[in-house]
Amino acid sequence: MRYYLSILLLYFIGQARKLYRRCLYKYLIFRIIKVWVLKVYFSYPDFFKKIAYLPTIKSKHFKLITSSNFLSNAKLSATKVLCKPGTNLVFGPRFIGQLPIDKTPDHVLLIEPSIEINEFKNVKVMGGTNLIIHGNFAIHPDVQSPKLDVIPVEYLGFAKLNNSFNKIRLGITIKSIQLNAAISLLGNCSGNYAHWLTENLPKLILIDEHIEYTNLPILVDDWIHPTLLSTIDFFNKNKREIFYVSRWQTVDIIRLIDLSPPSYTPPESRVYFESRNLPTPSHEYFIFSKYSLNKLQTIAWDLTKDTSPPTNKKRIYLKRAVKSTGNGRLIVNADEIDNIIERYGFIPVSPADMSFEQQITLFKQAEFVVSPIGAALINTLFTPKGCKIICLSPYYEKANYFYFSNFMGILGHEIHYVIGSQVETDNMSDHIQHKNYLIKLRDLEAALKKIVN
């Protein structure tokens, strides 16, 4: 009986999530309801963790181990090394107008990760995570640090970490899918556009270069937005079969093909999770692979060559529509900002209203981009090298501006921040990173004159 109740509960939670992501997010009332549900959840985490564990079939402790250490202990090596570790020297965050209190370095040295294809025998994978379970081990990527990072399966209450003993307790909530062989595109943050395009989707591009894996199916998280699923259709040249995996659902696989993360951003900081204090900003939190991003761009450009108009350099203004965001972080004087930006010849666009192919086609022509900070800026992946970007962003204590400066630096773009103070409004989020903010018009004007003219 407990098993069937757990199935029913998780089914309704999954359906509610899908319904919200597909249509309800467009309406203010449902975005407000979502925020209040999350507020209640995070106000009483211990209570909800008990509820989360109540319907589980079983829970078990696993020893945490990195992928490389597991392979070494098993006297195995990577099946294929696609890209060796490297370094890239890029600019640190640059600002026009208001400056943050904490000084940022002029340049930072980025470590580019090794990218490997590994084969694991007789293992489990879990939806909504990048964990691989083998016997008593929970294998995680080398770039992920359990002592520093919190993954969704933990902060949503379906796992408990014991850092003292380097163990994790996982609740197994749904019967496993049984497969002979598969390629995993599962991940901690698959539902986020930026994470998906930099961490998950490149794996499909990279694995397609190896004909020995041509006929293998792929595993994909079933809770991600339809726009993200459409990117698989766009790049799935081998017409691979897709198995959709629910969050925390396990899949038993005789032969798993796993690619190490081509890029990595922690889902949440353990410092913030345990203390509600932001960690000291550092460029080391955000890892990007120039190798994989260039591969993704090249193929995307090739697939849209027949639909792209002749080269016509454009000035693009990405508008952060309320309906496309569930976490607030809106510019309170947006109307005045819009007027100034459009006066400089920028075309206002809303990526949320465009297909993936339309977004690639548009950004291939971009020379200048102005945008509020957000996942839509990841589309600059498809702009030609040397694109100039003005990023509008809130300022708060320990704000970390390295994510996009690292990303743009790897791509060869030039980004400048125009930051503004956060303001007290009836915002949709209490998270310090998601509060609304105000941009000074004179700072924006100064940026446009300097970058565009």
What is 402-444 written as a DSSP string? HHHHHHHHHHT-EEEEEEEEB--SS-S--SGGG--B---HHHH
Q: In the chain, what is the straight-line distance between the N-terminal and C-terminal CA atoms, in Å?
A: 69
- Percent of the chain exceeding pLDDT 90 equals 65
Token pair for 418: 């125009």
CA atoms of 388 and 452, how far apart (whole Å): 8
Digit-coded pLDDT (tens) for 160-182: 898 888 999 987 755 788 999 99
Which pLDDT value is given to residue 171?
78
- Percent of the chain exceeding pLDDT 70 equals 83
For residue 439, give Cα distances in angstroms to 355, 427, 429: 30, 16, 19
Residue 137, beta-bridge partner list: 63, 134
Q: Which residue has the tokens 């903010």?
A: 437
Q: Phi/psi at 68 (nearest 5 deg)?
A: -65, -40
pLDDT mean across residues, the chain: 86
CA atoms of 357 and 354, how far apart (whole Å): 8
CA atoms of 219 and 243, how far apart (whole Å): 5
Token pair for 238: 């081998």
**Burial class, 206, CB count within 10 angstroms (exposed 0-12 / middle 13-18 / buried 19+):** buried
Does 442 or 328 have the greater pLDDT score? 442
List the helix and strand counts (H, then E) for the chain: 14, 20
CA atoms of 356 and 379, how far apart (whole Å): 10
Identify which of 324, 322, 336, 316 has the alpha carbon closest to the alpha carbon of residue 420: 336
Which pLDDT value is given to residue 2?
47
Digit-coded pLDDT (tens) for 273-290: 888 899 999 999 999 999
Which pLDDT value is given to residue 175?
75
Digit-coded pLDDT (tens) for 214-242: 999 999 999 888 889 999 999 998 999 99
Identify which of 28, 32, 37, 30 has the alpha carbon closest to the alpha carbon of residue 321: 28
pLDDT above 60 (res 10): no
Residue 417, beta-bridge partner list: 95, 391
Encoded amino acid at 360, one letter: I
Count of beta carbons in the 10 Å neighbourhood of residue 386 = 10
Does 308 or 423 have the greater pLDDT score? 423
Which pLDDT value is given to residue 223?
87
pLDDT category of residue 101 using cuts at 50, 70 and 90? confident
pLDDT above 50 (res 54): no
Which pLDDT value is given to residue 119?
94
Query: Measured on CA atoms in the order 54, 57, 63, 67, is the torsion positive or negative?
Result: negative
Residue 257, beta-bridge partner list: 119, 183
pLDDT above 90 (res 254): yes
| Domain annotation for the chain: domains and CATH numbers | 1-55 (no CATH), 60-83+114-276 (no CATH), 304-451 (3.40.50)
Mapped onto helix, strand or coil, the DSSP state of residue 128 is: coil
Q: Which residue has the tokens 């020995």?
A: 212
Query: Is residue 161 within 8 Å of residue 61, measured between CB atoms?
Result: no
Q: Which residues contact 40 (CB under 8 A, 6 or more apart)?
A: none
* Length, in residues, of the chain: 453
pLDDT above 90 (res 15): no
Which pLDDT value is given to residue 270?
94
Q: Which residues contact 144 (CB under 8 A, 6 or more apart)?
A: 130, 151, 261, 264, 266
pLDDT category of residue 426 using cuts at 50, 70 and 90? low
pLDDT category of residue 12 using cuts at 50, 70 and 90? low
Radius of gyration of the chain (CA): 22
Q: Nearest 5 degrees, angle CA 424-CA 405-CA 205?
A: 115
DSSP letter assigned to residue 198: I
pLDDT category of residue 18 using cuts at 50, 70 and 90? low
pLDDT above 80 (res 4): no
Give the range among 34-48, 294-308, 320-334, 362-376 with minimum mean pLDDT: 34-48
Q: What is the mean pLDDT of residues 348-373?
A: 93
Q: Nearest 5 degrees, angle CA 25-CA 27-CA 33?
A: 75
Q: What is the mean pLDDT of residues 244-268?
A: 94
What's the gap between Cα 83 and its chain centre? 21
pLDDT above 70 (res 406): yes
Q: Please name the helix (run of DSSP H) or strand (run of DSSP E) that holds residue 139, with its range, or none.
A: strand 137-140
pLDDT category of residue 252 using cuts at 50, 70 and 90? very high
Helices assigned H by DSSP within 304-440 = 334-343, 356-363, 402-411
Give the range among 280-289, 300-309, 397-406 with minimum mean pLDDT: 300-309
pLDDT above 60 (res 100): yes
Digit-coded pLDDT (tens) for 23-35: 776 676 776 676 6
Residue 7, beta-bridge partner list: none
pLDDT above 60 (res 43): no
Encoded amino acid at 170, one letter: L
Which pLDDT value is given to residue 53?
44
